[in-house]
Amino acid sequence: MKFHSCNAHGEEIALDDQWGPEKVVFVTDPKIRLSGTLVIDNTALGPGKGGIRLQPDVTADEVFRLARAMTWKNAISDLPFGGAKAGIISREDIDKGILIRGFARAIKRLVPEEYIAGPDMGTNEEDMAIFADEIGMSKASTGKPLRMGGLPHELGSTGFGVAESVVITSKFAGVSLTNASIAIEGFGNVGTFTAKFLNEKGAKIVAVSDSKGTIYNENGLDIEKLLKTKKELGAVTKYEAGKVLPTTALFELPINILIPGARPDVIHDGNVDRIKAKIIVEAGNIPMRENIEKQLSQRGVLIVPDFVANAGGVISSYVEFTGGTEQEMFHLIKEKICKNTEIVLKTAEKEAITTREAALIIAKERVKKAMKSR
């Protein structure tokens, strides 16, 4: 199937290639003002696995790029899943449960043989419960509440994996985790748990941002206090012991380790030259385009690609899908994330290529082999 999108200049871009997408489904329901997209990118390794993103500005291009990232993420994590992603435009005046149910009804025939849902930005365990309920089967989604036998992302699976990747990367770079200064973009599920688990390892987190702004203290933030402030007051900028800066200022701070963990393309042509971090671990999906990654790599910045660092969520999904326990989930995440991070860093150094190129070599070979056998 041919899939085309338009860039910011209105120019049409062909997004299909030898890997996919296999199916692109545009969902609309005027009665509930539902507008969504499902991209099933590649199912050579198994049914397409990827979360449902619920945001007011989510685009088909974004969903495709996320679906492709899931193809590589599942492959490099050696999971029996293909790549897929869904996006629903959120409406302030419409309950998101209504939108989730409408979307589930529209794609029911594809679930779970071709698509298995999961939480993403704007969706959570209760939304996955709604999705599974509407489809009429438990295996329609992962990240469901514990009461449904799920392993919700609220356990912190993605953030846990990111923290483990940071540990491996800092050792590889010869950087002391306890002395390094760390900044985390985004303080939702991924960002909060990344901060929590790094804090438990003795790391010094000096800056955190959310949609309201950035809080910065070069001497380090009290993460427990910050978590409490965010929960009670709704913004990291309400934390008193620090300097309040614009959200975008976080990327330009004088830090050692930068962890982008929320929106796509937050590092771009407009700020790439002002990035001071020497290590970037991509907790969020597609935080920058490949040409930006190459620019930073050429400057000596060590980058762990998104589909390597943030695979904890989909590894957790696999454990849930197969009926595993919380303990088994955390064990498998640590094992796979640490192994993959180390392999990618060593391969990139040995072959004198970027870390993304190194990771893609591994992922593409697995997908190519599955496509040939199929």
Please count the CA atoms within 13 angstroms of the CA of 118 that sit on its side-chain side: 34
Tokens at 243, concatenated = 């300097």
């846990």: which residue's tokens? 160
Distance of CA 126 to the CA centre of its chain: 19
Residue 230 CB coordination number (10 Å): 23
The strand pairing partners of 86, in sequence order, are 38, 52
Q: For residues 270 and 119, give the distance between their C-alpha atoms in angstroms, rounded to a whole number.
A: 30
The Cα-based distances of 302 to 76, 124, 269 in angstroms read 19, 32, 18
For every residue of 142-155, which 3-state class applies, written as one string? CCCCHHHCCCCHHH
Whether 81 and 47 have beta carbons less than 8 Å apart is answered as yes
Q: Distance of alpha carbon 96 from its chain centroid, rounded?
A: 21
Is 139 catalytic? The answer is no
Identity of the amino acid at 81: F
Strand partners of residue 313: none
- Tell me if residue 77 falls in helix, strand or coil: coil
Q: Two tokens at 324?
A: 């595993």
Q: What is the DSSP letter of 27?
A: E
Helix, strand, coil percentages (3-state) for the chain, rounded to 5, are 45, 20, 35
Alpha-carbon gap, residue 16 to 150, rounded angstroms: 34
Q: Which of 85, 144, 196, 204 is catalytic?
A: 85
Biggest CA pair distance of the chain: 58
Start-end of H helices in the chain? 60-76, 96-107, 125-135, 157-173, 189-200, 223-233, 290-298, 306-309, 312-321, 326-351, 355-373
- Active-site residues, by number, are 85
